[in-house]
């Protein structure tokens, strides 16, 4: 079904946004009951007791006799209330934790690279968990196939491997990449694409979309495009924002940053769509970067067009350095003052 422009500003009723913020983390511990399938969860603290001698500052704490696993995960977000565990709602973390607990009996510290919200999809999500080393050794050869037989059809674990030392799915990430799909063809999205592609009722100008996107690149305070959270910064470094038109009349925006604040990707898309259909001038999205608060005129694009496609990490030996950078509160990089040449000497 083609959605009308009036539907764009409405946020998700559950969580309001569809992309990971710098707080994109879901940490919990599962412990199986007698049947081994309850997936009960609690918020864990660090393992009890002092860190082992020689542990570098800031290094992840892994429970004794456990091993950290890196999981590659894909899901159709349509019927999920987002990634983050919510006791009364169906979430990706809740479903995944339940089946991991069924298999491993004990699962600690489920942590995700990019916390997606209700209706948002992922083909390249990354998370980590800590499980008993003995259980991993026994299950490693068959774990992907075993999980495929347990998980529902809208979520899949694509790969599981022992994480390199000091790996943290959230804090060690260098950048996250999303794609947003919009079909402006007269017939709307193809039936098989309707769950991950927004239908738009008017033509969109690719050149205008591209030109407006260039004005948003770089490090800025994206407060105009973010839902404010107490204690969280809205300064981000937008590394990539470009558009292409595929042969099936679908426009695809690729958006990449070191991290995204709450509602940022879908707000950027909402502002750019307004340019693409001629309701706003090309310079308008960039002009909003001067605002220190959320701009009500910036619409939030619907969740289902958005997909997390990739998370990049540095080389294993650089995890700790990257984690230190990620944990620091950002401030805009000071710009050198402009130098204006005076009149020529007489």
Catalytic residues: 117
Report the C-alpha gap between 126 and 102 in whole angstroms.
20
Q: Which residues of 198-234 are buried (b: 16+ CB within 10 A; e: fewer)?
A: bbbeeebbeebbbebbebbeebbbbbbbbbeeeeebb
Distances (CA, A) of 174 to 218, 239, 312: 15, 11, 5
SS3 237: strand
Tokens 């209706």 appear where?
A: 119
Residues 2 and 182: beta-carbon distance below 8 Å? no
> HSE (CB half, 13 Å, CA atoms) of 140?
13
Helix, strand, coil shares of the chain, percent, nearest 5, are 25, 25, 50
How long, in residues, is the chain?
Answer: 346
Burial of 331 (0-12, 13-18, 19+ CB in 10 A): exposed
Residues 282 and 209: beta-carbon distance below 8 Å? no
Residue 10: partners with Cβ closer than 8 Å, 6 or more residues away: 300, 302
**DSSP H/E element including 169:** none
């Amino acid at each position: 079904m083609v959605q009308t422009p009036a539907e764009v500003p409405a946020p998700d009723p559950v969580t309001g946004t569809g992309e990971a913020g710098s707080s994109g983390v879901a940490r919990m511990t599962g412990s199986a009951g007698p049947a081994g399938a309850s997936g009960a969860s609690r918020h864990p603290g660090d393992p009890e007791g002092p860190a082992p001698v020689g542990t570098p500052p800031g290094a992840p704490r892994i429970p004794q006799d456990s091993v950290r696993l890196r999981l590659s995960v894909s899901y159709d977000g349509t019927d999920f209330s987002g990634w983050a565990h919510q006791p009364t709602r169906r979430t990706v973390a809740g479903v995944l934790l339940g089946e991991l607990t069924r298999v491993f009996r004990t699962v600690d510290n489920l942590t995700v690279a990019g916390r997606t919200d209700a209706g948002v999809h992922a083909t390249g999500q990354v998370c980590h968990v800590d499980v008993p080393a003995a259980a991993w050794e026994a299950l490693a050869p068959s774990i992907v196939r075993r999980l495929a037989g347990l998980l529902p059809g809208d979520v899949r674990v694509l790969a599981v491997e022992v994480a390199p030392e000091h790996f943290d799915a959230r804090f060690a990430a260098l950048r996250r990449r999303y794609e947003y799909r919009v079909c402006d063809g007269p017939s709307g999205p193809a039936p098989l694409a309707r769950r991950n592609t927004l239908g738009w009722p008017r033509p969109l100008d690719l050149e205008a979309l591209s030109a407006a996107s260039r004005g948003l690149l770089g490090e800025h305070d994206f407060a105009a495009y973010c839902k404010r959270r107490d204690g969280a910064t809205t300064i981000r470094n937008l590394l990539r924002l470009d558009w292409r038109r595929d042969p099936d009349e679908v426009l695809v925006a690729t958006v990449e940053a070191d991290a995204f604040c709450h509602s940022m990707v879908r707000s950027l898309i909402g502002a750019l769509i307004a340019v693409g259909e001629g309701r706003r001038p090309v310079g308008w999205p960039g002009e909003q970067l001067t605002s220190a608060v959320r701009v009500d005129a910036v619409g939030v694009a619907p969740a289902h067009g958005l997909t997390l496609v990739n998370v990049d990490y540095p080389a294993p030996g650089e995890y700790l350095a990257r984690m230190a950078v990620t944990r620091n509160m950002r401030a805009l990089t000071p710009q050198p003052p402009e130098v204006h040449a005076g009149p020529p000497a007489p």
